[in-house]
């Protein structure tokens, strides 16, 4: 089969690397002919909303997926009219607007932090009065990895905060004093079969994921998270991998956001699970049986941001698996990651601490 991927970033690259052993071939759409996906497949150059590029992709492949959320839903629907497109465009659109996303969660009985829409500076003042401070002001669309958001601690922080984010539609969310951040990745096949990986604990710095540890072993939280993700999978008649990030607060889960795609917090599954999120996404969109999502040990991942550590130093860590995305280094850019798998959590954590020291 020929699989088209809109977006040729590291996620698309890893999808292709997982699909090649299954005999699949890949074509990408991206504006950058030197994107990570170019190392493993043909690039059709064009914007994610380019009718010409997307038409060329649809004519070249048997099924289309994506590795980024900022593909316009209308563009996805145009492709879906020509060739099977998974996950469905409706699910893609649902994750693109933070306010719509929160309403979706609430409609399915998935708890969230308190929130209010903000369309003006006055609306921000009123929302802050209603929700209280501290709170987080976020743009409704296009923000990720800590971008497009600002923390508001005092009334003085409200001044010009709306304008500082560009005066675009926004959402104010009550600050969640969480115990930890967790994510659950699930997958649903064409036949409706579902599978879930173990919960993973995530550590963010300046809004960007730096570490993931899995499994987070809590049967009650695992069941709750699976119920929430299953509700989303069924709501959209979903096909492929879906990720939901949660705050854990006093033993309960609050949904933060969803990603209708393979996810950074699931990179540990490449070496740490029987079947990775990438392989199971490929299996799902091709109608193949889903693979086991069981963890093979205590797995962890460190993101390398801004610069890569020396290869020899990283590989000197026993059992380290080094993934270089082939990107040009610049501050704040995800350039690669390392994973480790150990029999004991304490051994995994020691290896992660050492890898983190190499990446600073």
Quote the pLDDT of residue 145.
Answer: 58
Report if residue 246 sits inside a domain.
Answer: yes
Strands 2-6 and 63-66, sheet pairing: parallel
Residues 265 and 320 occupy one common structural domain: yes
Quote the pLDDT of residue 161.
Answer: 86
Quote the pLDDT of residue 335.
Answer: 97
Structure token pair of residue 104: 């979706």
Structural domain that includes position 25: 2-85
Q: Looking at the DSSP assignment, which residues form a beta bridge with residue 211?
A: 203, 302
Report if residue 75 sits inside a domain.
Answer: yes
336: domain CATH number is 3.30.470.20
Quote the pLDDT of residue 134.
Answer: 95
**Can you give the pLDDT of all 360 residues of the chain as single tens digits?**
999 999 999 999 999 999 999 999 999 999 999 999 999 999 999 999 999 999 999 999 999 999 998 899 999 999 999 999 999 999 999 989 999 999 999 999 999 999 999 999 999 999 999 999 999 999 998 766 557 888 999 988 898 888 888 889 999 999 999 999 999 999 999 999 999 999 999 999 988 999 999 999 999 999 999 999 999 999 999 999 999 999 999 999 999 999 999 999 999 999 999 999 999 999 999 999 999 999 999 999 999 999 999 999 999 999 999 999 999 999 999 999 999 999 999 999 999 999 999 976
Which DSSP symbol is given to 267? Answer: T
Residues 260 and 326 occupy one common structural domain: yes
Quote the pLDDT of residue 353.
Answer: 95
37: domain CATH number is 3.40.50.20
Residues 190 and 254 occupy one common structural domain: yes
The helix or strand, by DSSP H or E, that contains position 199, with its residue range, turns out to be: none
Single out the residue of 183, 276, 257 nearest to residue 221, CA to CA: 183
> Alpha-carbon distance 356 to 191, whole Å?
41
Instruction: Give CA angle at 5 (37, 103), nearest 5°.
Output: 120
Break the chain down into helix, strand, coil percent, rounded to 5: 35, 30, 35
> Alpha-carbon distance 296 to 272, whole Å?
5
Residues 74 and 155 occupy one common structural domain: no
Torsions phi, psi for 97 (to 5 deg): -125, 115
Structural domain ending residue among the three candidates 174, 203, 220: 174
pTM for the complete prediction?
A: 0.95
Domain count for the chain: 3
Sign of CA dihedral 247, 252, 254, 258: positive
168: domain CATH number is 3.30.1490.20
Residues 60 and 141 occupy one common structural domain: no
What is the side-by-side order of every strand in the sheet holding 42-45?
Answer: 42-45, 25-30, 2-6, 63-66
Report if residue 107 sits inside a domain.
Answer: no
Sign of CA dihedral 94, 99, 100, 102: positive
Torsions phi, psi for 334 (to 5 deg): -75, 115
Answer yes or no: are the C-beta atoms of 75 and 66 closer than 8 Å.
Answer: no
Helices 73-80 & 51-60, crossing angle to 10 degrees? Answer: 40
């Amino acid at each position: 089969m020929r699989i088209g991927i809109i977006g040729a970033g590291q996620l698309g690259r890893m999808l292709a690397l997982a699909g090649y052993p299954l005999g699949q071939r890949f074509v990408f759409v991206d504006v950058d002919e030197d994107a990570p996906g170019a190392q493993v497949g043909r690039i059709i150059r064009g914007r994610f909303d380019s009718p010409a590029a997307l038409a060329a992709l649809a004519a070249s492949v048997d099924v289309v997926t994506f590795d980024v959320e900022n593909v316009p839903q209308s563009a996805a629907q145009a492709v879906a009219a020509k060739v099977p497109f998974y996950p469905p465009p409706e699910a893609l659109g649902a994750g693109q607007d933070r306010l719509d996303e929160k309403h979706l969660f609430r409609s399915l009985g998935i708890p969230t932090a308190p929130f209010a829409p903000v369309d003006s500076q006055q609306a921000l003042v009123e929302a802050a009065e209603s929700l209280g401070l501290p709170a987080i002001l976020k743009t409704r669309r296009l923000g990720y990895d800590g971008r497009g958001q600002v923390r508001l601690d005092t009334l003085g922080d409200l001044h010009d905060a709306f304008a500082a984010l560009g005066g675009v539609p926004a959402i104010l969310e009550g600050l969640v004093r969480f115990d930890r951040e967790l994510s659950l990745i699930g997958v649903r096949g064409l036949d409706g079969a579902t599978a879930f990986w173990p919960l993973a604990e995530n550590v963010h710095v300046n809004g960007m994921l730096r570490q993931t540890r899995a499994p987070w072993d809590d049967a009650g939280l695992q069941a709750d998270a699976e119920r929430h993700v299953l509700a989303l999978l069924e709501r959209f008649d979903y096909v492929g991998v879906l990720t939901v990030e949660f705050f854990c607060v006093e033993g309960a889960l609050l949904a933060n956001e969803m990603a209708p795609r393979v996810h950074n917090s699931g990179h540990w599954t490449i070496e740490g699970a029987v079947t990775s999120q990438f392989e199971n996404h490929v299996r799902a969109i091709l109608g193949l049986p889903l693979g086991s999502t069981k963890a093979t040990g205590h797995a962890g991942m460190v993101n390398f941001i801004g610069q890569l550590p020396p290869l020899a130093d990283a590989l000197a860590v026993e059992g380290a698996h080094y993934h270089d995305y082939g990107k040009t280094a610049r501050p704040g850019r995800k350039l690669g990651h390392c994973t480790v798998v150990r029999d004991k959590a304490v051994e995994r954590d020691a290896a992660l601490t050492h890898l983190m020291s190499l990446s600073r």
